[in-house]
């Protein structure tokens, strides 16, 4: 079954809005694992507007499933991740002021840079995933940078799902098959939710992991965190 990694950034956003330590992101991560999550994802940004660098160190001490750190590979980010040594690092091309991830890497254009960064993380024993869209040229070049996995950026799928799910999924199926042929592992994330997740999981070959934050934490306001995680896990049973 595809693994569910819960992104807890939004819990940190709520904490930071008031100051103090309520809600406690470390306790939230422990609870997510206790409720069935198979991984915890965080995306620390330079301005620390949600997850703080200190949170990352604290979470490393308690996360017993897969710890995944997302971010743009700046000098500070590389130092943080290599010091913490999570199970996985996911590289995204976000500028520092981005509200959320909104594009995949142009691997062809950034091949030399990404190759060096990937090698640096792998030297520290960290599995590397690179955020990509469905551009087949990018995907076919992914093996050249040495990445272990790629994470498909699924916003376009989510936007088109309600209007025409078959059309929405088609480029992602094609991309997934190209990734499978390359021998690289496949993750996915961004705007996956209770409505569109099951169809995606059923139709994408070789899907190893999904990372879901905003929708899952929003649903938890209505259904409770434990129940929501179980609802998402059931969507991944295909």
144 and 105 in contact (C-beta within 8 Å)?
no
156-195 burial: b if 16+ Cβ within 10 Å, else e = bbbebbeeebeebbebbeebbebbeebebbbbbbbbbbbe
Q: How far apart are the first and last CA of the chain?
A: 8
Residue from 33, 43, 50, 151 carrying the catalytic annotation = 43
Q: Is 70 a catalytic residue?
A: yes
In the beta sheet, which residues pair with residue 70? 90
Q: Is 155 a catalytic residue?
A: no
Residue from 33, 50, 190, 209 carrying the catalytic annotation = 190
CA–CA distance, 73 with 9 (Å, rounded to integer): 18
Say which DSSP state 145 is in. G
Tell me if residue 133 falls in helix, strand or coil. coil
CA–CA distance, 130 with 23 (Å, rounded to integer): 30
Q: What is the DSSP string of 111-129?
A: HHHHHHHHHHHHHTT-EEE
In the beta sheet, which residues pair with residue 97? none
Q: Is 190 a catalytic residue?
A: yes
Residue for token digits 């960064």?
117
- Nearest by Cα to 229 from 66, 38, 22: 38
Residue from 33, 50, 66, 70 carrying the catalytic annotation = 70
Q: Which residues are part of the catalytic machinery?
A: 43, 70, 190
């Amino acid at each position: 079954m595809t693994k569910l990694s819960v992104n807890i950034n939004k819990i940190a956003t709520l904490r930071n809005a008031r100051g103090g330590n309520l809600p406690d992101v470390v306790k939230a991560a422990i609870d997510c694992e206790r409720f069935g999550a198979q991984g915890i994802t965080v995306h620390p940004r330079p301005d620390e507007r949600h997850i703080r660098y200190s949170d990352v160190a604290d979470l490393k001490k308690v996360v017993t499933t897969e710890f995944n750190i997302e971010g743009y590979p700046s000098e500070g980010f590389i130092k943080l991740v290599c010091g913490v040594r999570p199970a996985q690092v996911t590289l995204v091309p976000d500028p520092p002021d981005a509200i959320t991830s909104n594009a995949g890497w142009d691997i062809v254009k950034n091949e030399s840079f990404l190759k060096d960064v990937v090698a640096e993380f792998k030297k520290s024993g960290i599995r590397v995933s690179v955020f990509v869209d469905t551009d087949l040229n990018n995907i076919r070049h992914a093996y050249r940078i040495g990445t272990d996995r790629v994470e498909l950026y699924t916003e376009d799928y989510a936007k088109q799902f309600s209007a025409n799910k078959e059309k929405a999924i088609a480029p992602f199926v094609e991309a997934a098959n190209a990734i499978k042929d390359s021998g690289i592992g496949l993750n996915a994330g961004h705007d996956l939710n209770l409505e569109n997740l099951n169809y995606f999981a059923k139709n994408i070959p070789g899907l190893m992991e999904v990372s879901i934050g905003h929708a899952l934490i929003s649903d938890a306001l209505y259904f409770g965190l434990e129940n929501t995680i179980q609802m998402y896990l059931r969507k991944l049973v295909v």
